[in-house]
Amino acid sequence: MHPSYFEHLQQVQQQSAAALEACGFDGLLIGSGHLHPRFLDDNYYPFRANPHFLRWLPFLSEHPHCWLLWRPGRTPVLYYHAPDDFWHLTPSVPDDWWTTAFEIRPYSAPAELHRALQPQAGLAVISEQPPAVNGVDWPHNPQALLNRLHFQRAVKTDWELHCLRQANVTAVKGHTAAEQLFHEGASEYRIHQGYLQAIEHNERDMPYDNIVALNEHAAVLHYQFQQRQAPQQSRTLLLDAGAVHLGYAADITRTFTAGGTPFAELVAALDRAQRQLLGEVKAGACFIELHRRMHHLLAGILQEHGLVNASAESIVERGISRTFFPHGLGHLLGLQVHDVGGWQQDGEGALGEPPAEHPFLRLTRELQPGFVITIEPGLYFIPSLLKKLRDSEAGADVNWQAIGQLQPWGGIRIEDNVAVTDDGCENFTRDAFAAQQAADQARAL
Ligand code: GLY
Ligand code: MN
Ligand code: MN
């Protein structure tokens, strides 16, 4: 049992009450979601619960058709779907430690739910589809309310920080197993399976599809396949893989390679630069500036390693570093891997879009204590972007021979999950790797 879950629930209720009042609603009705059938098929896509529902009830991530009804000052009511169904297992009505915070009313047929909900007035509904209750016209996903709730979600409660920390501990077990498989020459498919086994997740438990990229595939930012056949030589493993703890996601990338090559030196240099940047993460920092700063650090690497013959300033100014690092520095992390509200500047929903030259930056907010974010710089050799650079004026300053020699290694990404504090950050990912290494060493003694 996590004692601070109840505190978390209190905080969610306080925030929700303020959001409801500001928007003129008396209560909230949140649906867990429903199953989506495949086209022309009677099978369903894996279920994903509504994150608004999970924020209250993370224990019910596999439970479609549940509804949470809440009015400020009252006990939240959970309409729990327990259908009379001989095809599937009807989940038993929960009686775990957390249920003391709820009034649980099981229902079987939709008509029962609708009868219970019909007399309710003044509700705002947050769900994929509104419940089909006759004669009611509740506002469905009112944007003003969503804006407030999304804005609040960036600052995590202590219990949410605990879940995110735990998700990192789990994911690191997978990364450690995957590294070993990579050094044994396993295929992408086997590495993926080894990862899932090490963290005891099913594929449908994962917060996002694992990116298991060997060699040149590491140059594909969201590489989506897993080859069954191992390559003749395994030079690089770029592994972007997470885990979930009670609904909260880890999102970790490591790039593994054997030592003693120019590519291994680049991995070490990017790791140093990433750690240097982490030293600048703290409350009050502007994330757009951190992203720009990372481009300067990366440009220094490109220059020092003889890949671009120009000063770091000129490499950034002329946009050369964007060829090698085309995505954003990071994003909010929580119930969703790319957690909502990254561009939102206030509870009313004012947006701060990223600068035109960095359109993929998902976070433009000033950092606050309690934000959990990723810091994930990359350095890739992406053929289509390299071609554009080669065809441009700046191409004359690039050492194409050195680049050509590095292309078989694909690229590098190093991604940590950190919680912002007043004067720095807590690095969930590096802490989890350090603990894992200490445990492995203790076992080896
Ligand atoms: N795994 C997706 C990302 O790093 O944002
Ligand atoms: Mn990420
Ligand atoms: Mn990632």
Per-residue pLDDT tens over the stretch 289-347: 999 999 999 999 999 999 999 999 999 999 999 999 999 999 999 999 999 999 999 99
**Percent of the chain at pLDDT exceeding 90:** 97
In this predicted model, what pLDDT tens digit does every residue of 421-442 receive, in sequence order? 999 999 999 999 999 999 999 9
Which pLDDT does position 3 carry in this prediction? Answer: 60
Do residues 237 and 256 lie in contact, with contact meaning Cβ atoms separated by under 8 Å? Answer: yes
In this predicted model, what pLDDT tens digit does every residue of 336-351 receive, in sequence order? 999 999 999 999 999 9
How many Å lie between the centroid of ligand 1 and the Cα of residue 250? 10
Instruction: Take residue 111 and report the two structure tokens written for it.
Output: 């008509």
Q: Residue 386 carries which side chain, given as an amino acid letter? A: L
How many Å lie between the centroid of ligand 2 and the Cα of residue 389? 26
Which pLDDT does position 132 carry in this prediction? Answer: 87
Whether the per-residue pLDDT at 217 is higher than 70: the answer is yes
Half-sphere exposure of residue 51: CA atoms within 13 angstroms, side-chain side = 15
Longest dimension (CA), the chain: 73
Strand, helix or coil for residue 320: coil
Q: Residue 306 carries which side chain, given as an amino acid letter? A: G
How many Å lie between the centroid of ligand 2 and the Cα of residue 413? 10
Contact 416 CB / ligand 1 (< 6 Å): no
The model's confidence at residue 135, banded by pLDDT at 50, 70 and 90, is confident
Contact 188 CB / ligand 1 (< 6 Å): no
Count CB atoms within 10 A of the CB of residue 444: 6
Domain boundaries defined on the chain: 4-153, 158-444
Whether the per-residue pLDDT at 276 is higher than 90: the answer is yes
Structurally, at CATH architecture level, domain 158-444 sits in Alpha-Beta Complex (3.90)
Q: Ligand 1: which of 251, 325, 413, 418 to mutate, judged by most atoms within 8 Å of the beta carbon?
A: 251
Question: Which of these ranges, 83-92, 210-219, 274-283, 367-376, has the smallest mean pLDDT?
Answer: 83-92
How many Å lie between the centroid of ligand 3 and the Cα of residue 241? 6
Whether the per-residue pLDDT at 134 is higher than 90: the answer is no
Which pLDDT does position 42 carry in this prediction? Answer: 95
* CATH, domain range 4-153: 3.40.350.10
In this predicted model, what pLDDT tens digit does every residue of 228-269 receive, in sequence order? 999 999 999 999 999 999 999 999 999 999 999 999 999 999
Terminal Cα distance for the chain, rounded: 33
Helix, strand, coil percentages for the chain (3-state, nearest 5): 40, 20, 40
Cα–Cα distance between 202 and 47 in angstroms, integer?
13
Whether the per-residue pLDDT at 89 is higher than 70: the answer is yes
In this predicted model, what pLDDT tens digit does every residue of 153-167 receive, in sequence order? 999 999 999 999 999
Residue 106 CA to chain centroid, in angstroms? 32
Strand, helix or coil for residue 70: strand
Whether the per-residue pLDDT at 415 is higher than 90: the answer is yes
Q: What are phi and psi of 124, to 5 degrees?
A: -110, 135
Contact 251 CB / ligand 1 (< 6 Å): yes
Residue 9 CA to chain centroid, in angstroms? 22
Overall average pLDDT of the 206-216 stretch: 98
Whether the per-residue pLDDT at 1 is higher than 60: the answer is no
Contact 216 CB / ligand 1 (< 6 Å): no
Instruction: Take residue 115 and report the two structure tokens written for it.
Output: 């009868």
Q: Tell me the average pLDDT of the chain.
A: 97
Strand segments (E) across 233-316: 236-245, 248-257
Smallest CA-to-CA distance from 231 within 177, 198, 189, 270 is with 189
Overall average pLDDT of the 106-116 stretch: 96
Cα–Cα distance between 389 and 394 in angstroms, integer?
7
Q: Ligand 1: which of 374, 413, 429 to mutate, judged by most atoms within 8 Å of the beta carbon?
A: 374
Whether the per-residue pLDDT at 278 is higher than 70: the answer is yes
Whether the per-residue pLDDT at 74 is higher than 90: the answer is yes
Q: Which residues contact 225 (CB under 8 A, 6 or more apart)?
A: 188, 217
Return the ∠ at Cα 419 (arms to 416 and 420), rounded to 5°: 115
Pairing state between β 77-81 and 103-107: parallel
Check if 4-153 and 158-444 are the same fold: no
Torsion of CA 376, 380, 382, 386, to 10 degrees: 120
Instruction: Take residue 289 and report the two structure tokens written for it.
Output: 């500036």
Which pLDDT does position 18 carry in this prediction? Answer: 98
Instruction: Take residue 98 and report the two structure tokens written for it.
Output: 């957390």
Cα–Cα distance between 2 and 439 in angstroms, integer?
24
